[in-house]
Structures are given as C-alpha cells and as structure tokens.
Amino acid sequence: MNTVTGPGLFPSLARWMAGTPTTHPLRELFDAASAADAPTSPRRMILEAFDIIIGRLEAAQPLRLAAELKDFRNARTFDDLRIVRSELVAGGMLAAAGVGFDFGARSGTPQPDLVLRETSLGIEIKNRTLDGLRQLERDLDDAVADVGAPVTIYLACDERPLVIKADVRAAIVQQASAMIQAGQRGTFTMQLDQPWAATPQLNLSVRVADRSPVPGSAKVIFEEGFSSLPGPLDDAEAEVLKVLQDEQKIQQALAMPTILLVDAGLTGMSVFRPMNVWAQRLNLLLPTSTPFVGIAVMMPELISPDAPLALVTRPGIDSSTLAAVKKLSADLGLDEVA
C-alpha cells in the first residue's frame, strides 16, 4: 500500500508549509494529499503547481525570497494566498526562462516587486481579483450550511458582475435565508446598481430549490445564461487599466523603468478574451502619459505553475528600455512587442 503523503509528494511546497497553522488556506489540501490521488485530480494539480513554482524559485535563489516565504506562511484566506501567488508565479516564470531577477526591496527607496538583474527593468505586480458572484456564492454557501436545509440556490443574470457590494450581498443572503427557514421554494430578483459598469443596472435572479439527492450536490450553482460577453469584458478591461492610476504602483514606476503586470485571472470574465486580443486592446488603450514603460496581463490558474501572458509597451519609450522589454518578451516566448 502506497502511504506517501504531502511532504513526500511535494518536497518544495512542504518546506514552505512547515509551521503553518491549520488556518492556512492550503493546509487542508496538503494534509489530505496522497499518492493515491489521480494525477488530474484538482488537489494533486493545485499542490503540484505550487511545488513546481517554489522549486523554480529556490533553484534561482533571488534576493529577498524569504519575504515571499513569510507572506506565503502568513496567508489566512485564499484571497491572501492569491496575492502572494501572483508574485510567485511571475518570479517562477522568469526563473524557468533563465531570466535573472530579485524580489524588490520593501524598505528604503521603493522598488518594483521584481527587479531584473541584467537590465534596469522592474516589474510591478497587481492582483485584480473581482468576481462578485463568487463572493456571493461563498456567503450563500455559508448561509445554507448554517440553516442545514437540503436546498440548492441557483444564481442567474445576463452578465457576470465584477462587484456586488457587501450590503447588497447581505440583503440577498437574508432574503434567501428567510425563504429557506420558512420552507419556501421559488425565485426572487435583486437589481444590482453598478454605475461604474458598461451595464449600470443588472437584474440578478436567485432561485431556491430542493437539492438533488445525489451525494455532494452543490449548495449554490451559477446557471447558464450569461448572454452578453462584451459588457463584462469591457468592465474587466477598465479595471485592468485602472491599476495604472494606483498611486502606490506609480511610486514604484518612478523608481526605475517598470512594467505593470496585472493578474486578471479572476477579474470578471477576463479569461474569455484570447491573449492576442488582450495585447491588441492594451496597445490601443495604454495612455502615453503613464509612467509605466509597458503593461502586461496574465491569466494564471491554480492548477498550473505558468500563466498565459500579454505584454505591450508605451509609445515613445527610449531605445534601451524598449530593447530590454523586447529581450524579456523573447526570453518568455511571447510575441514580439511593439
């Protein structure tokens, strides 16, 4: 009988998991890992991706890797983990491509998150996690579990909202909980006001129904019917470009020629847009006034150590910086940047 568990299966990840509490977002997955897990099981693939990323970084030995390890160990939610994972994925991809780099200094003169060794080029990373329905799903899932009733809640709307405000989520959960506690089944509609979005008002349908008797059936399900992709993608695009106005990020860009890298894997429906289309749109919309020398988006998945990437440069940057960005692009196997 094969009794190999997490530490034996994922030695690099095991070193980083050492000493983490039971509240760490990977702890349950890691402790349950077994050699009996199928190679394509989500648990196996998620943990293996982390193990590969960490192995790449440990082999490359960038300066200040210890700070990333500290952030990893201090993560208490998956949102915490996603933020540090964005930096680890980007660094791991550089390491895999043989690009020398260090993690930027966090004290003294501000530096970008990643600083390339051979060129005066930095990469500042921003995780842009915006998925209103996913947040609502978690709240409703908890509510159904608290009530203990065998129901499933179905959510449907024409577009996937990037943000559902906390008070609106609370009102939806309260109304759904009241229906469940009263033994009622049926549908109610909540209007989402989102003046920042391409669709300023969006109706969300919430249906409470008896749960399937199949073991493990979901408590909350997103129904088919997202009928309009351009709207959400326009909103996601705007959210990516909004990071260019982040004052903290701008300060990093003023320290040295810097590429802004936005992790948009969970920015609404960003993943539905091909990376070459992202490159075309960013090339068209990147303002010439930005202090960043370029902008990139990546779409990482938890089951992969790598991420699709699109990179464009700001018009008018100096020739040496443009050459450095083009070299980086070539090293990463990307299409040539303009």
CA 73-114-253 angle, to 5 degrees, is: 125
**Is residue 312 within 8 Å of residue 282, measured between CB atoms?**
yes
**Residue 5 DSSP code:** B
The amino acid occupying position 116 is L
Say how many CA atoms lie within 13 Å of 289 toward its Cβ.
Answer: 2
What is residue 1's predicted lDDT score, i.e. its pLDDT?
A: 44
Contact partners, residue 155, CB within 8 Å, separation at least 6: 133, 136, 137, 140, 204, 205, 206, 207, 220, 221, 222, 223
State the pLDDT at residue 215. Answer: 66
Give the whole-angstrom CA distance, residue 10 versus residue 47: 7
Cα-based distances in Å from 22 to 75, 85, 88: 11, 19, 22
The answer to whether the CB of 259 falls within 8 A of the CB of 295 is yes
Q: Which residues of the chain have pLDDT under 50?
A: 1, 225-231
For residues 179 and 74, give the distance between their C-alpha atoms in angstroms, rounded to a whole number.
39
d(CA 223, CA 195): 25
Confidence at residue 229, expressed as pLDDT on a 0 to 100 scale? 44
From residue 142, alpha-carbon distances to 6, 218, 219 in Å are: 28, 12, 9
Rounded-to-integer distance, Cα 300 and Cα 309, Å: 9
pLDDT of residue 3: 61
**The residue to which tokens 């600083």 are assigned:** 115
Give the separation between CA 184 and CA 207, rounded to whole angstroms. 11
Distance CA 159, CA 222 (A): 12
